[in-house]
Amino acid sequence: MTQPFGYFVHHQGRGHAERCAAIANALPVTRPLTIFCARDDIFPALPAHVDIVRIPSLFEPVGDEAGTMDDIATPATLHCAPLGWPGIRHAMATIAGWFDTANPALMICDVSAEIAQLARICSVPHVKIVQHGDRGDQGHRAAYDGAAGLLAAFHAGLAQPEWDAAMLAKTCFAGGLGVDTRVPERELARQRIGVGADEEMILVLSGGGGDGFGQAPLGVGARARPDARWISIGPVQRDWHATEPSNIEHRGWIDNPADYVAAADLVIASTGNTTCQQILAAARPWLAIPEWRYFDEQHRKAGALAAAGVACVRPHLPSSADAWKAALAETIATHRPDAQRAMIDDTPADDVAAWLEGLAAKLWTSAPTIISSPDLTGA
C-alpha cells in the first residue's frame, strides 16, 4: 500500500484549510492523506481518499488547563508549549500514534513549530509551510532546518531578503496556492454587486483572520474622496466617534469576494495570504495596510510586496484627509498590473502535488544510511 501523507492544519483564518484542500485535490488518488485539525468544518470539498482527524486546539485551553504552571519558562526552541494541558497531550498522542501505525511518507505542517519538531523526533520527514515574518528564532529555525522540504504559498519574488541559499534551495514556491484566482469579468461583476459601470469604486477588504479596519479612519477616507463609492466587505471595527459620509457602506460577510475585487477601481486591504492572491490575480491598484500578527507576519509581507512593486504600503490607515489623498494618489500612480499578475502561477496546486510526490520518492528510494549504534555499556 502507498504510504500516506499527514497534514496538520491550523484552524485560524481560512488560508491554511484552503491550501490544504487544493493540495489534497491535486494529489494522486492512490496517495492516502490524513488531516489533523481542531476543526473539520473549515475545509472546501475534499476527495474520498482524505480523512480528517479532529484534535484539541494546541493554542486554546479547555476547562482548568490554563495558568497552572506559567512560572516554568518556555525554552527558546518552542513557541506555544504550556505545561499541564491535557488537550495538548491528547493531540500530540493522537498524531504520534498515527505516525507509529501509518508509517507516513511525509508530514506537512501548516503551521506549528511544535508539530514539525514532533515529526522529526518521531523519525517522520516533514514539510514545513513557510510564512513571512521575523522567524529567525530558534523555534522556527529548528522546524525549518529539520524539514525535508519547505513550502511557500506565494511567488518566489516575494521571498524575504534574509532567506539564505540553503533555505531557498529546498523551498517550493507556489503563487496562488489554495485560492481561486479566476477573475470575473469586470462589468458582470459590477452588475452582480449593484455598482454602476461608470462609478469609481473603492473596496475595503478584511479577511477572516482578524477584526477588520476601524470605522473612523475609513470615514475620513470616504470624505476625502467624496465622488467615489466606498464599499467594505468583511468585519469592521465600530468606533463611537466615527462620522461616516453617505458614500460608504458596509456589507459585512459576503459569499462572492472575487466579484468585489474584480469590480473595484482600487482595493484597500491587509496582507493576509488569501487576500494577497486575490488582489494580485485581479491586478488592481492596492493600498496594503498590514495588521498585527505574530512575528510581524503581515508587516514583513507588506515589505516584500512593496519591494516587488506590486502594492503601495502604509503602516496603518491614513489618519487625515491629506494623508488619504496622498496614499490613494500614490497607489494609482505606482500601479503595475503586469507585475501583479506575474505573482500568480498557472497551476500551483498541481505543481506542489508533483513536488511532494517527487520529494517522497527521493526520500524513500534513496539507499539507507547505516548508523552504528552507540556503545551504551560504558566499556
Q: Which three cell numbers stand for residue 108?
A: 506537512
Mean pLDDT computed over 312-336: 98
| Cα–Cα distance measured from residue 314 to residue 318, given in angstroms and rounded to the nearest whole number | 8
Would you list the domain boundaries of the chain? 5-179+345-361, 186-341
Which residue matches cell numbers 523555534? 139
Percent residues over pLDDT 90 in the chain: 88
pLDDT at 127: 98
pLDDT at 371: 46
Task: Please give the distance of CA 295 from its chain centroid, rounded to a whole number.
Answer: 14
Which residue matches cell numbers 499541564? 84
pLDDT at 299: 98
pLDDT at 377: 46
Length of the chain, in residues:
379
Q: Is the pLDDT of residue 69 over 60?
A: yes
CATH placement of domain 5-179+345-361: 3.40.50.2000
pLDDT at 379: 41
- Given pLDDT bands bounded at 50, 70 and 90, which one contains residue 362? very high
pLDDT at 66: 61
- Predicted TM-score of the model (pTM): 0.92
pLDDT at 211: 81
pLDDT at 65: 67
Q: Which residue has the higher pLDDT, 310 or 368?
A: 310
Q: Which residue has the higher pLDDT, 253 or 12?
A: 253
pLDDT at 59: 87
Helix axes 321-333, 215-224, angle to 10 degrees: 70
pLDDT at 48: 94
| Cα–Cα distance measured from residue 169 to residue 171, given in angstroms and rounded to the nearest whole number | 6
pLDDT at 135: 97
Mean pLDDT computed over 116-141: 97
- Given pLDDT bands bounded at 50, 70 and 90, which one contains residue 63? confident
Q: Quick count: other Cβ atoms within 10 Å of Cβ 39?
A: 15
Q: Quick count: other Cβ atoms within 10 Å of Cβ 33?
A: 21
pLDDT tens sequence across 142-180: 999 999 999 999 999 999 999 999 999 999 999 999 999
Q: Among the CATH numbers 3.40.50.2000, 1.10.3720.10, 3.30.470.20, 2.60.40.10, which is that of 186-341?
A: 3.40.50.2000
Read out DSSP for 291-307?
A: PP-GGGHHHHHHHHHHH
pLDDT tens sequence across 263-300: 999 999 999 998 999 999 999 999 999 999 999 999 99
Q: Do domains 5-179+345-361 and 186-341 have the same CATH topology?
A: yes
Q: Is the pLDDT of residue 262 over 80?
A: yes
Read out DSSP for 142-206?
A: HHHHT-SEEEESS-GGG--TT--HHHHHTEEE-TTTTS--PPPPHHHHHHHHT--TT--EEEEE-
- Given pLDDT bands bounded at 50, 70 and 90, which one contains residue 366? low
pLDDT at 67: 63
